[in-house]
Amino acid sequence: MRLEEVIKAALGEVKADLVILNGELVNVFTGELEKGDVAVKGDIIVCVGDVSDHIGKDTVEVDGEGMYISPGFFESHIHIESSQITPTEFTRLCIPHGTTTIVWDPHEIANVMGVNGVREVIREVRRLPINFFIVIPSCVPASDPRLGGSGGVIGVREINELKGEKEVIGLAEMMNFPGVLGLDADVVAKLKAAKEFRVVDGHCPGLSGRELCAYIAAGVRSDHESVAGSEGVEKLRRGMFLMVREGTASKNLSDLLKPIVEMGLDTRNCLLASDDKSPEELKEGHVNFLIRRSIEEGVEPVKAYQMATLNPATYLGVDDVLGGIAPGRRADIVLVDDLEKVHVEKVIVGGKIAAEKGKLKLKIEDFRYSDAMRGSVHVKQEVKPEVFAVKCEGNKARVRVIKVEEGSLVTGEEEAFLPVVDGMIIPDPSMDVLQVAVLERHRGTGEVGLGFIKGFGLRSGSIASTVAHDSHNLVVVGADWRDMAVAVNRIIEMQGGICVADKGRIMGEIPLEVAGLMSVETADNVIKKRKKAFNAVRRLGCTLHDPFMTLSFVSLPVIPFLKITEKGLIDVKTQKIVEVVKR
């Protein structure tokens, strides 16, 4: 609207399109609950207080009796790809929970599709009704290319190219904090390219003292990887914005908030973030769940709402437009019937009623992805079982074995003695020693990294996936090579996804045709297929809580100690490729 129209609407000379009456405002500016009504014209809040003069014959009246009127909720940091649904479907799920603003780091898309993939998802979110802010992935590829390759690269040139997109608000998590401290030329160049951004997200678990000071002095303003409460407190004291994370994989909210509450610290620099969210959990709740959990941990209710509204808006530098119920702000409003349980009754997005009682009211059209995004698995020919054989002389082989642990991304190194038949080392499911392989899938190089792994517990069968952090090549684990080939070939046919095979048959599959990371199907269908695949893996003997998540991290050569990429086994500590067979 023109400024003149806004002023007239605020004065009541032009009648409101929508008013909310009889509710109690969650005033995130003063930290109090306040009786007051709200008037909206177009997508702008024009008046708060007495709005009786703003009501006309065409004004939609929303009765807020017995309800609390909050600003729309912010997701401060998330990788939507980890939900295995598209941003469009994610939006359909999160609006009924009160989420009206999302800060997305498309790190996974960038690792597969590079700058063109980031541009494509920007085009997708641009058409969605809620606010999407994009932060440019800073670490693509995430590890030394000599140890494994991704499909895309985001360097200084790509950062400068993406600056022109209006949704881009900053630089995403600078995971390479050793590179910052060691003055790595590429890392420093990226930070310099991001100097004009207000938002430069961090990723510095365990960093403390002068190293933390140096990291902050480099321009990094937030962190979402804190685990211990003392770590979070130190970062707050040094002026960082602390993203209190509670996602599907990592749950740090309780540990981080406990000392903040006990010490009575100011929470204005605390933000709420999920980082990763499964579709199952997203159906049940989103940022509203994080607010509720914060209140359960002792945060005063209005302060908990501030952590999901005004605080992130301030961090992003958009608090003049978003983050509060005030004149001139965008009309993103949530009505809850219980302040502490954060049960969302109604959601208003851009001045329009978007959801009621958990049901989406807006119609959101699907986005059509390019052929490149839907055809990202470039394995040139059918994979034969013998591709997975590790060759060796003799009758017995002493091999290195990757050891996975429940609930940990850290993998150990063990050894096992395996039989050699016809010059090939045979996995032994009876000892829980399975074959593991990573196939390059971005450039059709034909590279295959081979090894052995322990901890999955498969008695037979195989699991394969194109969700393999951070390069997202094709990773497969199995009790025998035939089922590994069956699973891998099905994924190539689907152009990405997760597959479970046993005795030559497909037992469960999750097609993820968008960059091999996301499905174009509804969340309900994805959840059903995930459940079937989970059940199939459990029938094969796996007892891991989330075997697909565990599998997705065995190829990330920046987390200790032994990992595997298409280049081979990686000793993470030395950052060198090591032999499978120990001589």
Residue 381 has a CB neighbour count (10 Å cut-off) of: 9
Average pLDDT over residues 432-441: 97
Give per-residue pLDDT as tens, 360-373.
999 999 999 999 99
Which residue in 149, 140, 76 sits closest to 108, CA to CA? 140
Residue 353 has a CB neighbour count (10 Å cut-off) of: 15
Q: Which two tokens stand for residue 471?
A: 């390069």
Q: Write the DSSP assignment of 28-54 as a string of letters.
A: TTTTEEEE-EEEEETTEEEEEE--GGG
Those residues with Cβ within 8 angstroms of residue 436's Cβ, 6 or more apart along the chain or in another chain: 402, 450, 451, 452, 453, 475, 476, 477, 554, 564
Helix, strand or coil, per DSSP, at residue 67: coil
Confidence label for 263 from pLDDT (cuts 50, 70 and 90):
very high
Angstrom distances, CA of residue 525 to CA of 45, 116, 374, 487, 519:
38, 28, 18, 20, 9
- Asked whether the predicted pLDDT for residue 407 surpasses 80, the reply is no
Mean pLDDT, the chain, whole residue set: 96
Which residue in 582, 285, 179 sits closest to 416, CA to CA? 582
Q: What is the pLDDT of residue 375?
A: 95
Which residue in 126, 73, 133, 75 sits closest to 349, CA to CA? 73
Q: What is the pLDDT of residue 533?
A: 97
Q: Write the DSSP assignment of 501-522 as a string of letters.
A: EETTEEEEEEE-TBTTTBBSS-
- Asked whether the predicted pLDDT for residue 17 surpasses 90, the reply is yes
Confidence label for 409 from pLDDT (cuts 50, 70 and 90):
confident
Helix, strand or coil, per DSSP, at residue 450: strand
Give per-residue pLDDT as tens, 132-182.
999 999 999 988 889 998 999 999 999 999 998 999 999 999 999 999 999
| 369 half-sphere exposure, CB direction, 13 A CA radius | 24
Average pLDDT over residues 412-433: 96
The stretches of 203-278 forming alpha helices (DSSP H) are 209-217, 229-237, 253-262
Q: What is the pLDDT of residue 72?
A: 98
Q: What is the pLDDT of residue 101?
A: 98
Q: What CATH number belongs to 79-311?
A: 3.20.20.140
Question: Amino acid letter at 365?
Answer: E
Q: What is the pLDDT of residue 153?
A: 95
Average pLDDT over residues 480-486: 97
- Asked whether the predicted pLDDT for residue 343 surpasses 80, the reply is yes
Give per-residue pLDDT as tens, 496-533.
999 999 999 999 999 999 999 999 999 999 999 999 99
- Residues 562 and 149: beta-carbon distance below 8 Å: no
Q: What is the pLDDT of residue 184?
A: 94
- Asked whether the predicted pLDDT for residue 536 surpasses 80, the reply is yes
Percentage of the chain surpassing pLDDT 70? Answer: 100
Q: Which two tokens stand for residue 132?
A: 């999407």
- Asked whether the predicted pLDDT for residue 5 surpasses 80, the reply is yes
Helix, strand or coil, per DSSP, at residue 88: helix
Cα–Cα distance measured from residue 256 to residue 230, given in angstroms and rounded to the nearest whole number: 8
Angstrom distances, CA of residue 537 to CA of 202, 475, 534:
36, 16, 5
Average pLDDT over residues 232-238: 97
Q: What is the pLDDT of residue 406?
A: 86
Confidence label for 576 from pLDDT (cuts 50, 70 and 90):
very high
Angstrom distances, CA of residue 37 to CA of 55, 56, 510:
11, 15, 47
In the chain, what are the domain boundaries? 79-311, 385-578
Q: H-helix or E-strand containing 11?
A: helix 3-11
Give per-residue pLDDT as tens, 95-130.
999 999 999 999 999 999 999 999 999 999 999 999
Q: What is the pLDDT of residue 107?
A: 96
Give per-residue pLDDT as tens, 301-323.
999 999 999 999 999 999 999 99
| 305 half-sphere exposure, CB direction, 13 A CA radius | 31
Tokens 């497909």 identify what position? 506
Beta strands 131-136 and 168-174: pairing type?
A: parallel
Q: What is the pLDDT of residue 20?
A: 98
Confidence label for 351 from pLDDT (cuts 50, 70 and 90):
very high
Bridge partner residues of 49 (DSSP): 37
Q: What is the pLDDT of residue 249?
A: 80
Give per-residue pLDDT as tens, 39-60.
999 999 999 999 999 999 999 9
Give per-residue pLDDT as tens, 195-226.
999 999 999 999 999 999 999 999 999 999 99
- Residues 565 and 473: beta-carbon distance below 8 Å: yes
Put simply, whether the predicted model's pTM sits higher than 0.85 gets the answer yes
Q: What is the pLDDT of residue 412?
A: 95
Q: What is the pLDDT of residue 344?
A: 98
Average pLDDT over residues 177-188: 94
- Residues 135 and 154: beta-carbon distance below 8 Å: no
